[in-house]
A and B are shown apart, each in its own frame.
Chain A
């Protein structure tokens, strides 16, 4: 019969239409500014810099190694090194960034800076409501605007942040253990050297 297919299709549409009034699962959208779907844990949108403690300048994990600047595909990161040194998480003295800018109008949130960073210093944010009226000033984020505490990182990516903290703690413990072992070995060596130095002195005595 001509029109049978159309009627079948209409029945499907009617089922969906009526169903949307009865089954809350069929409501697939939310009314955005009032209601928001919670962000996924892996969600990513523009990078930020992690700092430990309360002072962003002191606790910044970034050591201005400029790897992210080199690897960034659209080249949206700009770093100038400072001359001031501070210890990194391993206790080694490192240079700090004097200027660290990210132009988020160029950034494409690809996460490559996060992957290449050896110091776990740059991470992805989930903030997406970033509209501004000035596309030059307000979309060029400087070091102070980018720096966010480790607690914030824990809040937006809890699993990942815990893993990072564990890894950093393990590496630090390892480094400390190694430093201690080195120090002990060095101390032993000095003792031995001193002993060796001390030992020969009596030998020539009988020759006198």
Chain B
């Protein structure tokens, strides 16, 4: 199966990045390495290929230096940092409120949960307590964000698998409905900048709640449709089952969190463990996987969306009237007393935490993000070894990364 001509090798599954550059156009993006007798199973040479940073299936600007033995991966080195924006340093030189809009731009699919995680840690630092209605609003927006994220993820995963169009378009159609809700609430479709320390910026109207109820009702119908389209599809099943297995031991050692960890069968969800906000009042279950392969990761997301719909139904039914801001909170001249705090939430991608040290000045002394995307990405090589190049793409898709958060 090894061919001597690199041009033919490039014609396999990922032709976009591997087609050799024309003569004189600079360095080509692959190297042929002579193989020692101990390496690999097939005869011939190893091929080192740079997948990305412009490869469409890497979900942004992410590069994987893969060493291939035929079609199988021998070694994989993730290279990132192309989207580094100096987020933490900027946050240390602006006010506490000033870095709230920057958190939107970390994981730009789930801005609401980013806002919440940051607001939560500043509230811990400053001793603020959001009122009841604000807690409900936060849960509603966070669960809607989870729906958005997981729907998009499934769409992109299927796109990586070769289902160009249909699943992604269906996913985006439903996402639009939620983005409309968010726009009506916060004024922006993706960069919400909605949470404030000690509450939320704008109050929900009764109309908004009615619309949200309609969207949530429609969502379970959409999930049924989506599952009919995908879950039993033989192509999806044969492409994903047994591919990219993540063992429980490795997952725990590498501090993987979120759906990735639960797909391997570890029952760890910060909504249940920490009970931040008012999650202890809601009746929902944590779906768990068995095998830790790509199919389980897909299935976990679908099941989590169903649980989110459950939480949303309860929250939209029970939301009380009242203020949405802690009266102690203030917008101008906000200076929390010296100290440190770590606030974490179960974001759609995993544990999202913000660690802050205050020295009593208007800007944080130290600001650190614990990004779930980056930490979940660390086990990529272990999952990919021995798999084919085509599977590397879907394994990466199932990790669910957003490069804005990986590079910060």
Contacts and interface: CB of A to CB of B under 8 A. Distances in A.
Contact of B233 (A5, A28, A43, A67): A5
Given A5-B233, A12-B229, A73-B99, A28 B176 contact: yes
A184 interface: no
A115 B331 CA distance: 8
A84 interface: no
Nearest to B185: A42
A44 B188 contact: yes
Interface in B202-245: 202, 225, 228-237
Contacts of B229: 8-9, 12-13
B250 interface: no
A6 B233 CA distance: 5
A22 interface: no
B141 to A, nearest CB: 14
Contacts of A145: none
Given A73-B98, A73-B101, A111 B233 contact: no
Contacts of A41: 184
Nearest to B225: A12
A124 B95 CA distance: 21
Given A12-B225, A13-B229, A124-B187, A112 B332 contact: no
B177 to A, nearest CB: 9
B97 A8 contact: no
A190 B231 CA distance: 87
Contacts of B201: 115
A71 interface: yes
Contact of B234 (A2, A43, A112, A116): A2
A43 B95 contact: no
A6 B239 CA distance: 14
B191 A40 contact: no
A116 B333 CA distance: 10
A110 B191 contact: yes
A110 B101 contact: yes
A42 B184 contact: yes
A11 B225 CA distance: 10
Contacts of A2: 234
A116 B170 CA distance: 41
A54 interface: no
A67 B232 CA distance: 58
A186 B191 CA distance: 53
Contacts of A44: 187-188
A2 B234 CA distance: 7
Given A16-B170, A28-B176, A73 B94 contact: yes
A23 interface: no
Contacts of B191: 108-110
Q: Please classify how large the interface on chain B is, using the bins under 10, 10 to 19, 20 to 34, 35 or more.
A: 35 or more
B101 A112 contact: yes
A3 interface: yes
A40 B233 contact: no
B193 interface: yes
B166 interface: yes
A196 B306 CA distance: 82
Given A42-B202, A73-B98, A111 B234 contact: no
Interface of B is mostly: helix
Interface residues of A, number: 30
A129 interface: no
B187 A43 contact: yes
Interface string A1-30: 011111011011100100000000000100
A88 B168 CA distance: 54
B39 interface: no
A44 B193 CA distance: 11
B308 interface: no
B202 A6 contact: no
B173 interface: yes
A2 B233 CA distance: 10
Contacts of A112: 97-98, 100-101, 193
Contact of A116 (B186, B193, B225, B331): B331
Most B CB contacts (10 A, CB to CB) among A2, A9, A43, A124 go to A9
B332 A4 contact: no
A124 B193 CA distance: 14
B102 A42 contact: no
A3 B234 CA distance: 6
Contact of B228 (A12, A43, A111, A115): A12
B71 to A, nearest CB: 25
A72 to B, nearest CB: 8
28 contacts: A3-B234, A5-B236, A6-B233, A8-B228, A8-B232, A9-B228, A9-B229, A9-B232, A11-B228, A12-B225, A12-B228, A13-B229, A28-B176, A40-B184, A41-B184, A42-B184, A42-B186, A43-B187, A43-B188, A73-B94, A73-B99, A73-B101, A110-B101, A110-B191, A110-B193, A111-B193, A112-B193, A115-B201
Given A8-B228, A108-B191, 11 more contacts: A13-B166, A16-B170, A28-B176, A40-B184, A43-B183, A71-B95, A71-B98, A73-B94, A109-B188, A110-B191, A111-B193
Q: Which 3 A-B pairs have the closest CB atoms?
A: A5-B232, A110-B101, A44-B187
